[in-house]
């Protein structure tokens, strides 16, 4: 190794580390002035088990970020869950002003007497260049086709999505690489309608190793507006865990999408793509089995080693010390949990968590929301433990669970933001960043809503008002954003991987179709590049198999079309 190389090897990391100390990550909460503050309501049930069922279904506060009107600005779909309550579609008008158009667009409904809206997912299922919307429910999902005029048409009846499920998570990705987006739904409870209970035995059979949950369903896009349930054919029918979230990505760099399941009350699972329409469960070899309460999956290469890592939230509180899992991808099909070593372990009762480079230094940071139920002074835990420790108690029976009433359960918890220090270490900075609210967080939708190069995010909260955090970091690094447009690949380019080299650092990003609990982030990829004034190389690996190099400049949003390279931008802000 020459002296010059040695010098570079010594100095470049030092410069990068020095950069880490420059910008102070800061956010400003502006949901009210921006017109996107919404108070979510969880479903109220009827009958003697009403209180317990409401407690068990305290999710449903979700956000999906997507540009439904193709004006270049990311909009927000925010769910509500109580009967008759309407979900909201907030159109981004620019300059931090949003207009609620959910009812006018025809996507506000779904909370009927026998269904509960739990999540939302934007994806262009028919590759027409316009974002369609899947409203995920405890019930049957609703598929809305984007009619390109600000209105949506309910096309569920002809879509094949007619199977009941207690769905709480949804991701879209092209698992078979046929050029259209397939859908995977995560089911929490087994397929019993909680709003019309036929049996009280609907709750987990074990609180650490439950096997009576709803599992997952994989719906293959047939390319003609119809979807077919291929769960069994894909080898996924045996999974009966309590799925809370799904995260997909190409974990083994073979060009095919794999996925990870965060399961409540028992072990998470990881599945690798067999490239023939099926998946193999490699949990035991890849991760080992766990007994934790998996809540969230987000996927990113946090240490810039060229392999996608996985972040899972669990429950770590005074009475239960599970610790999150930051699964470092070892590159050989196995993962090592480095949450304790990196300082990302304790986030209390975790829900959504998202990676994002908040200071544009080239290292992805993490934001985590938490908190189950903030209510009265009395704590539910001692009451619950009395039930749990009753010899021979049947946990599945909803009638055996004590009512929570106005009691608090892991409530009033401060959110956590971890700054990536770039050396396998994170620093918790939520208070100084201005994001340490104590609401009962659920979902996070991340995007650069105002095109200033800083990531912003929307936080949903159960039975509480939502929040919109605007990135305000001063002295942040340079950045580049890419909206990828598939042609042979799916139009949303979900699954496309970008490898970018700048400032001595090589980073990867993949376009994902809804990773993270109760929150879909922008399809536009965001890279921070620190002080680098130019990008040395940008390579795109499209799901079709095409690999393309493009020349891009910093501090700009680029539109890149498969096979054509950089194309003109659209929207008023470009």
Residues lying near another protein in the complex (CB under 8 A): 206-209, 266, 291-293, 315, 318-322, 379, 381-382, 385, 388-389, 391
Residue 76: closest CA among 96, 47, 46: 96
Nearer to another protein, 326 or 480 (CB): 326
Residue 430: closest CA among 446, 441, 418: 418
The rounded distance, in Å, linking the Cα atoms of 304 and 511 is 16
Nearer to another protein, 291 or 487 (CB): 291
The answer to whether residues 88 and 81 touch, using CB atoms and an 8 Å cutoff, is no
The rounded distance, in Å, linking the Cα atoms of 465 and 474 is 28
Residue 207: closest CA among 169, 238, 168, 242: 242
Share in percent of the chain as helix, strand, coil (round to 5): 10, 35, 50
The answer to whether residues 144 and 220 touch, using CB atoms and an 8 Å cutoff, is no
The least distance separating another protein from the CB of residue 291, rounded to whole angstroms, comes to: 3
The least distance separating another protein from the CB of residue 322, rounded to whole angstroms, comes to: 5
The rounded distance, in Å, linking the Cα atoms of 171 and 243 is 13
Nearer to another protein, 206 or 341 (CB): 206
The rounded distance, in Å, linking the Cα atoms of 93 and 99 is 7
The least distance separating another protein from the CB of residue 370, rounded to whole angstroms, comes to: 16
* DSSP notation for 152-219: EEE-HHHHT----EEEEEEEEE-TT-SSS-EEEEEESB-S--GGG-S-SB-S-S-SSS---B--EEEE
The answer to whether residues 539 and 549 touch, using CB atoms and an 8 Å cutoff, is yes
Is the alpha carbon torsion for 404, 61, 159, 258 positive or negative?
A: negative
Nearer to another protein, 283 or 512 (CB): 283
Nearer to another protein, 207 or 421 (CB): 207
Token representation of residue 451: 């095109």
Q: Which distant-in-sequence residues (6+ apart) come within 8 Å of 426 by Cβ?
A: 342, 343, 344, 365, 366, 418, 419, 420
Q: Which distant-in-sequence residues (6+ apart) come within 8 Å of 224 by Cβ?
A: none
Nearer to another protein, 279 or 380 (CB): 380
The least distance separating another protein from the CB of residue 319, rounded to whole angstroms, comes to: 5
The least distance separating another protein from the CB of residue 416, rounded to whole angstroms, comes to: 18
Residue 555: closest CA among 539, 521, 571, 531: 531
Q: Specify which residues 231 forms β-bridges with.
A: none
Residue 385, judged by CB atoms within 10 A of its CB (0-12, 13-18, 19+), counts as exposed
The least distance separating another protein from the CB of residue 383, rounded to whole angstroms, comes to: 11
The least distance separating another protein from the CB of residue 205, rounded to whole angstroms, comes to: 12
Token representation of residue 71: 């004006």
Token representation of residue 498: 């970008």
Nearer to another protein, 206 or 233 (CB): 206
User: How many other C-beta atoms are found inside a 10 Å radius of the C-beta of residue 328?
Assistant: 21
Nearer to another protein, 396 or 499 (CB): 396
The least distance separating another protein from the CB of residue 409, rounded to whole angstroms, comes to: 11
The least distance separating another protein from the CB of residue 388, rounded to whole angstroms, comes to: 6
Nearer to another protein, 379 or 555 (CB): 379
The least distance separating another protein from the CB of residue 378, rounded to whole angstroms, comes to: 11
Nearer to another protein, 196 or 318 (CB): 318
Nearer to another protein, 237 or 383 (CB): 383
| Cα 314–Cα 316–Cα 322 angle in degrees, nearest 5 | 65
The least distance separating another protein from the CB of residue 379, rounded to whole angstroms, comes to: 6
Nearer to another protein, 327 or 409 (CB): 409
């Amino acid at each position: 190794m020459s002296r010059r190389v040695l010098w570079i090897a010594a100095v470049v990391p030092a410069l990068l580390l020095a950069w880490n100390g420059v910008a102070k990550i800061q956010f400003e909460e502006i949901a009210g002035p921006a017109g996107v503050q919404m108070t979510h309501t969880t479903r109220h049930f009827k009958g003697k088990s009403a209180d317990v069922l409401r407690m068990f279904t305290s999710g449903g506060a979700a956000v999906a970020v997507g540009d439904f009107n193709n004006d270049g600005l990311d909009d927000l779909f925010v769910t509500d869950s109580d009967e008759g309550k309407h979900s909201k579609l907030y159109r981004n008008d620019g300059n931090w002003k949003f207009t609620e158009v959910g009812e006018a667009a025809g996507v506000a409904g779904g909370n009927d007497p026998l269904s509960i809206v739990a999540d939302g997912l934007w994806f262009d299922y028919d590759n027409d260049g316009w974002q369609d919307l899947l409203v995920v429910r405890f019930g049957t999902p609703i598929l809305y086709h984007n009619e390109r005029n600000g209105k949506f048409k309910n096309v569920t009846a002809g879509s094949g999505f007619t199977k009941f499920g207690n769905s709480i998570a949804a991701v879209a990705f092209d698992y078979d690489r046929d050029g259209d987006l397939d859908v995977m739904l995560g089911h929490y409870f087994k397929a019993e309608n909680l709003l019309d209970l036929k049996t009280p035995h609907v709750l987990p059979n074990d609180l650490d190793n439950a096997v009576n949950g709803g599992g997952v369903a994989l719906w293959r896009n047939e390319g003609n507006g119809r979807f077919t349930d291929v769960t069994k054919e894909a080898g996924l029918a045996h999974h009966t865990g309590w799925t809370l979230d799904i995260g997909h990505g190409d974990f083994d760099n073979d060009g095919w999408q794999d996925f990870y399941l965060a399961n409540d009350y028992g072990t998470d699972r990881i599945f690798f793509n067999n490239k023939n329409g099926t998946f193999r469960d490699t949990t035991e070899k890849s991760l080992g089995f766990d007994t934790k309460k998996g809540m969230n999956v987000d996927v990113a290469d946090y240490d810039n080693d060229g392999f996608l890592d996985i972040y899972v939230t669990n429950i770590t509180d005074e009475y239960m010390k599970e610790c999150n899992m930051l699964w470092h991808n070892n590159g050989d099909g196995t993962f090592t949990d480095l949450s304790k070593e990196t300082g990302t372990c304790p986030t209390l009762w975790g829900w959504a968590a998202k990676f994002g480079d908040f200071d544009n230094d080239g290292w992805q940071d993490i934001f985590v929301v938490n908190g189950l139920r903030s209510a009265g002074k009395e704590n539910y835990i001692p009451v619950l433990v009395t039930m749990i420790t009753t010899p021979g108690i049947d946990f599945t029976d909803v009638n055996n669970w004590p009512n929570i009433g106005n009691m608090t359960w892991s409530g009033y918890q401060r959110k956590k933001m971890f700054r990536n220090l770039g050396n396998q270490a994170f620093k918790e900075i939520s208070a100084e960043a201005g994001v340490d609210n104590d609401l009962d967080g659920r979902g996070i939708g991340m995007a650069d809503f105002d095109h200033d190069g800083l990531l912003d995010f929307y936080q949903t909260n159960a039975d509480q008002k939502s929040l919109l955090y605007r990135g305000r970091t001063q002295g942040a690094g340079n950045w580049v954003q890419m909206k990828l447009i598939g042609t042979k690949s799916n139009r949303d380019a979900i699954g496309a991987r970008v490898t970018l080299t700048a400032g001595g650092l090589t980073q990867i990003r993949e376009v994902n179709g809804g990773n993270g609990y109760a929150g879909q982030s922008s399809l536009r990829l965001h890279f921070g590049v620190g002080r680098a004034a130019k990008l040395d190389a940008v390579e795109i690996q499209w799901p079709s198999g095409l690999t393309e190099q493009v020349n891009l400049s910093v501090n700009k949003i680029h539109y890149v079309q498969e096979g054509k390279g950089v194309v003109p931008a659209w929207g008023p802000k470009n």
